[in-house]
Amino acid sequence: MASKIQILTESIPGNEDIPLPFYGSSASAGADLHAAIKDTLIIQPRERRIIPTGIKLMIPDGYEGQIRPRSGIALKHGVTVLNSPGTIDSDYRGEIGVLLINHGSKPYKISRGERIAQLIIAPYIQLDFTSTKIQTDTERGEMGFGSTGVSSKIIKDK
């Protein structure tokens, strides 16, 4: 079983009917986030929208929130989180919003309270960056995108 930490939440006034994030099963990694919209909203193909969740979170220091897509919506409708995973820093105290994009060919309808994304809380490490000359005499060297096994050639922009 996964370890548990307490995340303090606040419902934004007028959104008390929107469920707090919850897990779909005892082994789920992501807790579902819900749409806190007044009226049904349509996301047209190729359109992106920020969908409010009606909640604020207090994430402990040393942790971050990650907003990820729900696989069923992505598979069935082509709707996903555009900046996946979206990062919620531990010092952010505003309403959580979800940036959705419709990659599908049909408009996608979102209703109030609908599950739109997943929230994962994860520890992070802050790095101490130091300027230096980077060693390049490794097996891979400076070979990047696709250099370890892509079947077609990659065309670089100049």
Q: What are 19-66's pLDDT values in tens digits?
A: 999 999 999 999 999 999 999 999 999 999 999 999 999 999 999 999
Cα–Cα dist 48/108, whole Å: 11
Q: Class for domain 8-123, per CATH? A: mainly beta
In the numeric block, which tokens belong to residue 93? 């105290």
Q: What separation in angstroms does the CA of 152 have from each of 45, 64, 140, 142, 145?
A: 30, 37, 18, 19, 11
Look at residue 143 and give its three-state secondary structure: coil
- For the segment 100-124, the average pLDDT, to the nearest whole number, is 98
Tally Cβ neighbours within 10 Å of residue 12.
16
Task: Provide the pLDDT confidence category of residue 124 given band limits of 50, 70 and 90.
Answer: very high
Residue 135: the pLDDT is 82
Cα–Cα dist 9/24, whole Å: 19
Query: What are the pLDDT digits (tens) for 60-97?
Result: 999 999 999 999 999 999 999 999 999 999 999 999 99
- For the entire predicted model, the pTM comes to 0.84
Q: What is the mean pLDDT of the chain?
A: 92
154 has a pLDDT exceeding 60:
no
Paired strand residues for 49 = 100
